[in-house]
Amino acid sequence: MAIMNRMLVGLAAILLLAPVFATAGAPKPTIKIENPGQCIAPVAEMRVNHMEMLKHSRDRTMRQGIRGEKASLNGCIECHASKTTGSVLGKDGFCQECHTYSAVKLDCWDCHQPKAGYKHAEAAGAKP
């Protein structure tokens, strides 16, 4: 009987704690938009489709030389780069926060410059 009681208590404890576990999880990403305003599409659509938008315009730009498409990484960082770090990466970085939360590898910025208005010091000085 004592064992039964203990089991019941244990079960109750698990049931009571279940919601706590369910809500705990990974902390939600902090989304900080430095230049609030109109994005190129509604937030819900951007969240679902930004990678598709970028992928298609990347192929057109790279292979066909079509410039000035609505979706571009340089366009992203214009609004979304942090004002403190200048980047969309790092802690509180607009891209990295969500990608870390959702465990999706983010390799765009291995090649593309993640800082807004970036100019290499040497390059900026040497320009004629």
Partner 1 sequence: MKEPQDLIDNKSRRSFVGTAAVAGAGLGALAIAPGLHLIQVSEASTPSQGASSKVRWGMLIDTTKCASDCDACVKACATENGINETLKDARQGSQWIRKIDLKNPKTGQEHSLPMLCQHCEHPPCVDVCPTGASMKRADGIVLVDRHICIGCRYCMLACPYKARSLVHMPLTTQNPEVPRGQGCVESCTFCVQRVDKGLKPACVESCPEGAMLFGDLNDPNSEVAQRIAKEKTTQVRGDLKLNLGVRYQGI
Rule CB under 8 A: is residue 26 a binding residue for partner 1? Answer: no
Measured between its terminal Cα atoms, the distance across the chain in Å is: 89
Region near partner 1 per CB under 8 A, out of 3-11, 29-37, 91-99, 106-114: 106-114
Least Cβ distance, residue 82 to partner 1 (angstroms): 16
Separation between Cα atoms, residue 60 and residue 108, nearest integer Å: 16
Q: Which is nearer to partner 1, 5 or 38 (CB)?
A: 38
Instruction: Please name which of 71, 62, 67, 18 lies closest in space to residue 40, comparing C-alpha atoms.
Output: 71
Q: Which of residues 45-74 bind partner 1 (CB under 8 A)?
A: 45, 47-49, 58-60, 62-70, 74
Chain centroid to CA 18: how far?
Answer: 29
Rule CB under 8 A: is residue 120 a binding residue for partner 1? Answer: yes
Least Cβ distance, residue 94 to partner 1 (angstroms): 16
Q: How many CB atoms lie within 10 A of CB 21?
A: 9
- Class of residue 81 by CB neighbours under 10 A (exposed 0-12, middle 13-18, buried 19+): buried
Q: Which is nearer to partner 1, 13 or 66 (CB)?
A: 66
Separation between Cα atoms, residue 116 and residue 83, nearest integer Å: 9
Chain residues in the site for partner 1 (CB under 8 A): 15, 18-19, 22-23, 38, 40-42, 44-45, 47-49, 58-60, 62-70, 74, 110-113, 115, 118, 120, 122-123, 126-128
